[in-house]
Amino acid sequence: MPEVPPVSGLLETALYVADMPRSARFFREVLQLRPMIEGDRLTAFDAGRSGVLLLFLAGASLEDMPGSGGVIPGHDGSGPVHMAFAIPVGSEDAWRAHLAAQGVPLRSEVAWPRGGRSLYFDDPDGHVLELATPGLWPNY
Report the catalytic residues: 130
What gap in Å lies between CA 54 and CA 58, rounded to an integer? 12
What gap in Å lies between CA 134 and CA 124, rounded to an integer? 26
Q: How many residues does the chain have?
A: 140
- As a whole number of Å, the CA-based R_g of the chain is 17
Terminal alpha carbon distance of the chain: 31
CA 109 to chain centre: 18
